[in-house]
């Protein structure tokens, strides 16, 4: 595995330093755009916020387990709820409950990006990863080469479209991704500072369990035996890994034991939920990742495959084997997940972005230029599509696109917000400036293509937020429906200023959490309560198949925004 024969080829000019301010501003714009200025959306977004608010208002030991009002949510783990409740308590009086709760997304994003960058930097400085020494010198220094790879890995991660929306929702998915990234960093750190790496690994294992329970922990547990196989350099640190497992078990037990003693019913349901999260998937669910993952992981997966091919003779080198072990851990998880989805897909993003970064120094200049132009064309099209959709929404042209949008946003009355339009124009000019920079300056730095991809995706996302957020908010928010229900309950209450009791029939967690968050409406389980909030479908109502149709008075009926399927009714049961 001598550096004299590695497939990496580049000069010092190609490893020119990316200004820290550029990377910092890009990351800030990426995470802040779309995080504020909107309602919590269905389902995970608003449900996580509801558990945070419930924890703040809980009494006794109820804060120990996730719950929504009186409803115990026996799934996932309590860590996100705890941290979110603390942030709301500290910052809620200044920026509101919703704004304070979303600070946790910034924390998870920062942990993920920091671990990806610094872990790649540690691996890139190792001897096995160094580029071929040039006959007359001129190759990059070890520090410059490591920094280049770390920058490229971070930019490629930001350019991966699959994680974009998840980092802007208050859920356990970005938290679990952050601890997976911390697990990668801990192994990269363990090679030179094994004690520090073991502590980081213990925190990663504990955090993964306390965010998504066993579904969050299993990918890490599957990756570790692969990473610590005999031919790996980590084999000498296997006892530190065992110590990390013991420490993680102790930290997990400090929550598990009290929860088991104080909330045995919740714990039994939680164990059942964990058990149901594993099993052999049916054929349709088994092949679904083959359809979804190529789009979800674009553009990093082709580069990661190229890296594995180019570095195939160095497959057990740490810079290839460690991220590959996390890819294999996530892949094995798909085989034991009955219904895999985005929560499982995001686990591929960090290790694949890191592998993709190690492919860049092995590529010929002509291939890299082709990737640059592909990024320019791809995101020029997405920027144009954002504007075309905006014109269709507000001016009805093109007509067919306008009709499709109107079908999805039925009842929405668009209004032009000129300051948002001006900022979107500024974003468009920034993208044009990036195109001109690539064409005229013709930079040699290998991070240029990654910067174009990350910058293009970020600018497109910002433009979507500026031009489309009100319409998306209308479609995905339950706030207007919740306000109607509150007004109805106020009219039904015999005591002024209070709400009438309300129980539910077939109500999903998303609308239930929205009622709690927006208007502090908490459903009861008292069968003596005559008022029922029923969730049904338009088709069932038209066919007379909805429950209580024969012996209940309909007091209110509505839906969420432009929802074409679900309908909600408040019913007064007649006395039998």
For residues 362 and 392, give the distance between their C-alpha atoms in angstroms, rounded to a whole number: 44
Nearest Cα to Cα of residue 117 among 303, 354, 298: 354
Question: Would you state the pLDDT for residue 60?
Answer: 81
For residues 452 and 156, give the distance between their C-alpha atoms in angstroms, rounded to a whole number: 10
Q: How many CB atoms lie under 10 A from the CB of residue 182? A: 23
Quick one: tokens of 309?
């091919």
Nearest Cα to Cα of residue 154 among 20, 36, 316: 20
Residue 130: what are its φ and ψ, rounded to 5°? Answer: -70, 150
Confirm whether pTM is higher than 0.75.
Answer: yes
Instruction: With beta carbons less than 8 A apart as the criterion, state whether 42 and 78 touch.
Output: no
336 half-sphere exposure, CB direction, 13 A CA radius? 14
Question: Would you state the pLDDT for residue 575?
Answer: 63
Residues 6+ apart with CB under 8 A from 348: 293, 296, 297, 301, 327, 330, 331
Question: Would you state the pLDDT for residue 136?
Answer: 64
Question: Would you state the pLDDT for residue 573?
Answer: 85
**What is the full per-residue pLDDT of the chain (576 aa) written as tens digits?**
444 578 998 888 888 899 999 999 999 999 999 999 899 988 889 999 999 999 998 888 889 999 998 888 998 999 999 999 999 999 999 999 999 999 999 999 999 999 999 999 999 999 999 998 777 667 889 999 999 999 999 999 999 999 999 999 999 999 999 999 999 999 999 999 999 999 999 999 999 999 999 999 999 999 999 999 999 999 999 999 999 999 999 999 999 999 999 999 999 999 999 999 999 999 888 999 999 999 999 999 999 999 999 999 999 999 999 999 999 999 999 999 998 999 999 999 999 999 999 999 999 888 888 889 999 999 999 999 999 999 999 998 888 999 999 888 888 888 999 999 999 999 999 999 999 999 998 888 999 999 999 999 999 999 999 999 999 999 889 999 999 999 999 999 888 878 999 999 889 999 999 999 999 999 988 888 899 999 999 888 888 888 776 678 899 999 887 788 889 999 998 765
Alpha helices, DSSP H only, in 172-237? 172-190, 194-227
- CA Rg value for the chain: 26
Question: Would you state the pLDDT for residue 2?
Answer: 45
Alpha helices, DSSP H only, in 228-299? 238-262, 264-276, 283-296
Return the H-helix or E-strand segment holding 323.
helix 318-335
């Amino acid at each position: 595995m001598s550096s004299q024969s590695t497939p990496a080829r580049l000069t010092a000019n190609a490893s020119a330093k990316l200004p820290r301010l550029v990377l910092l501003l890009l990351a800030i714009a990426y995470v802040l755009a779309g995080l504020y200025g909107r309602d919590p959306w269905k389902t995970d977004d608003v449900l996580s916020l509801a558990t945070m608010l419930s924890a703040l208002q809980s009494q006794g030991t109820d804060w120990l387990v996730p719950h929504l009002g009186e409803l115990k949510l026996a799934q996932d783990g309590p860590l996100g709820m705890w941290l979110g409740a603390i942030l709301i308590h500290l910052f809620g009086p200044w920026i509101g409950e919703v704004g304070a709760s979303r600070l946790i997304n910034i924390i998870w994003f920062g942990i993920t990006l920091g671990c990806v960058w610094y872990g790649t930097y540690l691996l890139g400085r190792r001897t096995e990863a160094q580029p071929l020494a040039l006959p007359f010198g001129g190759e990059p220094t070890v520090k410059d080469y490591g920094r280049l790879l770390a920058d490229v890995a971070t930019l490629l991660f930001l350019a991966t479209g699959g994680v974009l929306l998840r980092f802007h929702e208050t859920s356990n998915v970005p938290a679990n991704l952050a601890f997976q990234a911390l697990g990668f960093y801990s192994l990269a750190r363990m090679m030179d500072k094994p004690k520090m790496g073991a502590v980081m690994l213990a925190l990663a294992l504990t955090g993964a369990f306390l965010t998504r329970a066993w579904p969050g922990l299993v990918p890490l547990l599957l990756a570790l035996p692969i990473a610590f196989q005999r031919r790996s350099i980590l084999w000498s640190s296997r006892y530190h890994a065992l110590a990390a497992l013991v420490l993680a078990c102790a930290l997990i037990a400090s929550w598990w034991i009290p929860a088991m003693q104080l909330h045995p019913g919740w714990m039994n349901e939680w164990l059942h939920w964990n058990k149901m999260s594993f099993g052999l998937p049916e054929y349709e669910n088994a092949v679904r990742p083959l359809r979804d993952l190529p789009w979800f992981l674009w553009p990093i997966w082709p580069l990661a495959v190229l890296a594995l091919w180019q570095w195939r003779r160095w497959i057990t080198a740490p810079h290839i084997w460690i991220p590959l072990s996390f890819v294999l851990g996530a892949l094995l998880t798909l085989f034991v997940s009955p219904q895999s989805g985005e929560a499982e897909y995001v686990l591929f993003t960090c290790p694949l972005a890191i592998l993709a970064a190690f492919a860049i120094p092995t590529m010929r200049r002509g291939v890299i230029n082709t990737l640059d132009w592909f990024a320019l064309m791809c995101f020029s099209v997405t920027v144009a599509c954002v504007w075309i959709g905006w014109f269709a929404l507000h001016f009805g042209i093109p007509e067919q696109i306008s009709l499709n949008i109107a079908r999805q946003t039925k009842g929405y009355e668009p209004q032009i917000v000129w300051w948002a339009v001006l900022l979107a124009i500024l974003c468009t000019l920034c993208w044009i400036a990036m195109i001109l920079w690539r064409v005229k300056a013709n930079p040699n730095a290998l991070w240029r293509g990654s910067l174009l991809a990350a910058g293009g995706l970020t600018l497109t996302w910002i433009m979507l937020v500026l031009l489309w957020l009100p319409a998306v908010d209308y479609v995905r928010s339950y706030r207007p429906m919740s306000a109607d229900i509150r007004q109805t309950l106020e009219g039904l209450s015999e005591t002024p200023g209070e709400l009438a009791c309300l129980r539910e029939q077939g109500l999903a967690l998303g609308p239930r959490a929205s009622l709690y968050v927006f208007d502090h409406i908490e459903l009861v389980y008292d069968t003596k309560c005559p008022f029922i909030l029923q969730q049904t479908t338009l088709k069932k109502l038209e066919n007379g198949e909805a429950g209580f149709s024969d012996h209940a008075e309909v007091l209110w009926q509505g839906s969420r925004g432009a929802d074409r399927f679900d309908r909600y009714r408040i019913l007064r049961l007649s006395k039998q």
